[in-house]
Amino acid sequence: MKILNVGVIGLGRLGKKHALTIGGSVANARLAAVCDPVASLMDDVRGQFPGASAFKSPQELIDSSDVDAVVIASATNTHTELLREVIAAGKPVFCEKPLSLDISEAKEICRLTEERNSFVQIGFMRRFDNGYAKAKQAVENGEIGDVISIHCISRDPGAPPVEFVKTSGGLFFDLAVHDIDLIRWFLDDPVKTVRASAACLKYTELAEAGDVDHGNIHFTTRKGLQADAEASRNAEYGYDVRTEIIGTRGAVFVGNNSCMNVSFMTKGKASVQTVPGFLERFEQAYETELGVFVNDVLKGKKPSVTAYDGMMAVLLAGEAKRSFYDKKEVEIKED
């Protein structure tokens, strides 16, 4: 089997994890190159994978003849430009969510992807989590009848650094975008209306940066299916991601608050150990999505999470944000 030589752009919290996963545990992949303006981050990864080249500029990495495919895990406001460059170079690309912070740029990436027949996979890793994948299978097998509604909770244990917020698009684009993708995936019916409310209740530094720390979004689809998503930075107790999919003959619940399948019991008290963060909760999903990326590229398959999925999540996140600021329901014309 051929080996895919992968270059990783951006080596922050998630990019480092992706680089180490590509280098260490993805079959038929090799970590060929890394790029981050912070040299120590490149040194850190190359300490474990000395064969990986270090590039100061993303363009050099993209153009390198030793790089067959690219992973973009840099700050969100760099995604569109880097996608343009990788697509122009004719190389397959895995790009972290969100695809862009701007809907017209997201549509441009979709158009370029189609025109060039490019391989673009978006990093909605929840689709590859064993629990979510099993839930999807159950829904597709008709085990809960026809889907009626979906309830999503995404609570972070704290606020991200303000510097991150400045480039991330804030709560709607950075966090709610995951549930927006799940809602599209599970309901499989175009969203017709979006209504959102939000507030900054705890982290005043986020309000100063123009962001909020808690939001609730309600969606109705064309068939009238119902969905809601709570996105919050206020789960002091731990990282809390849960989803309930309700059907005419049953329901599927994904996720719980425990990081281990164990409860601690003392007199009058039961407790579990909570999940510290996204890296721990979705470790298996991050590894699986990159394995699927490498395998699908090598086998000439279509991407499993497309640029179109990324674009629709950007569109709905943007409309949810608009609904919050305009204090009114927004109608969605596109599907």
Closest CB to ligand NAD among residues 142, 276 = 276
Residue 6 or 330 having the CB closest to ligand NAD: 6
- 175 DSSP 8-state letter: I
Check whether the bond before 98 is cis (ω within 30° of 0).
yes
CB of 18 to ligand NAD, least distance (A): 9
How far is 194 from 212, CA to CA, in rounded Å? 18
Cβ-based nearer residue to ligand NAD, 12 or 158: 12
- Where do contacts with ligand NAD occur on this chain (CB under 6 A)? 9-15, 35-38, 41, 58, 73-76, 78, 96-97, 123, 125, 164, 168, 174, 278
Euclidean distance between CA atoms 167 and 176, whole angstroms: 16
The answer to whether 102 and 315 are in contact (CB under 8 A) is no
Residue 90 CB, shortest distance to ligand NAD, in Å, is: 20
Question: Closest separation between CB of residue 108 and ligand NAD, Å?
Answer: 18
Q: Which residue lies nearer to ligand NAD by CB, 125 or 159?
A: 125
Cα distance between residue 77 and residue 162, in whole Å = 15
Radius of gyration of the chain (CA): 20
**Rounded Cα gap, residues 32 and 61, in angstroms:** 9
Q: Please report how close the Cβ of residue 14 comes to ligand NAD at its closest, in angstroms.
A: 4
Residue of minimal Cβ distance to ligand NAD: 12
Cβ 165 to ligand NAD shortest distance, Å: 10
Listing DSSP states for 98-154 in one string gives: PS-SSHHHHHHHHHHHHHHT--EEE--GGGGSHHHHHHHHHHHTTTT-SEEEEEEEE
Minimum distance between the CB of residue 242 and ligand NAD, rounded to whole angstroms?
A: 16
Residue closer to ligand NAD (CB basis): 5 or 80: 80
Phi and psi at 246, nearest 5°, equal: -105, 130
